[in-house]
Amino acid sequence: MQNRITLRLLLLILCAAVNTFAQTEPHGGTVPRPPTKPKETTTPKAPAAPRRTGALDRIDGKWWTTGNGFGDSELILTQNGANITGVINWADGRTGTLNGTLVGKRLQHTWTSSNGDGGAGWLELSWANFLGGAWKNARVKDGSWTLNRIEGQWCLNGDRKRPRTVAHVAKGELSIVTEDGTRYGGNMEGPYFWLDNGEDRMKGDMFYKGNKLTFPNGSFWTWCGR
């Protein structure tokens, strides 16, 4: 009798242990994953501001053609932003027009003349008073065109109180007025600048980079603007 009671107690204890173990086992589901961190939000970057380009160079006004095969002439340019138009007056009486676009310091252009000639090319502003470049057409494959800005204010020995106002025409004839109203003339021969006061003629050499004219007597003129 006592043995039966002992056996029943053992069975009850064993059943209780099995039941407890069963309750601690997972019942077929997946073990829950740890919570994920929310994604960090970042403020979108503002689009890069467009690079500002500097103001366009001004090449409007009158330019003189030096001796280079294009023919002595004056070119009068009008500038509207990057759009350039021009009138060409040759020393031999021909006239012409120019149309182009200024990109950076380079003017891409086409030109025509009153005798039916024409061409296309470029002119580059190498220095403030110098334009130069190449052109071609059906007849000429390697033409050149060099221009100087002569018309404007030049200051004697760099003194702004002593300006010389210079003008010229297509044939290169110069008209010069000093600060006290004195008038005298001269002429352009290619890149050379001749002064003529009625008694003497004196040749000036042009230094493009320095915008400067030097004369044999030791004097010089510097560009003062238009």
Whether residue 197 is predicted with pLDDT greater than 50 in this model: the reply is yes
Looking at residue 178, the DSSP 8-state letter turns out to be -
Mean pLDDT of the chain: 82
Contact 215/207 with Cβ under 8 angstroms? no
Output the pLDDT for position 29.
40
Contact 221, 163 (CB under 8 A): no
Q: Flag whether pLDDT at 21 surpasses 50.
A: no
Q: What is the DSSP string of 80-142?
A: ETTEEEEEEEETTS-EEEEEEEEETTEEEEEEEETTS-EEEEEEEEEETTEEEEEEE-SS-SS
What are the tokens at 143? 């033409």
Q: Which amino acid is at 63?
A: W
Q: Is the pLDDT of residue 17 over 60?
A: no
Average pLDDT score over residue span 91-113: 96
pTM, to two decimals: 0.72
The runs of H, that is alpha helices, within 175-219 are none
- pLDDT tens digit sequence for 157-177: 999 999 999 999 999 999 999
Give the three-class secondary structure for 188: strand
Q: Give Rg (Cα) of the chain.
A: 44
92 HSE (CA, 13 A, CB side): 8
Confidence of residue 49 (pLDDT cuts 50, 70, 90): very low
> Which residues, including other chains, have CB under 8 Å from residue 111's CB and lie 6 or more apart?
86, 88, 96, 97, 98, 99, 118, 119, 120, 135
Q: Could you give the angle at the alpha carbon of 197 between the alpha carbons of 191 and 202, nearest 5°?
A: 40
Poorest-pLDDT segment among 43-52, 81-90, 211-220: 43-52
Strand partners, 121: 109, 135
Helix (H/G/I), strand (E/B), else coil: 155: strand
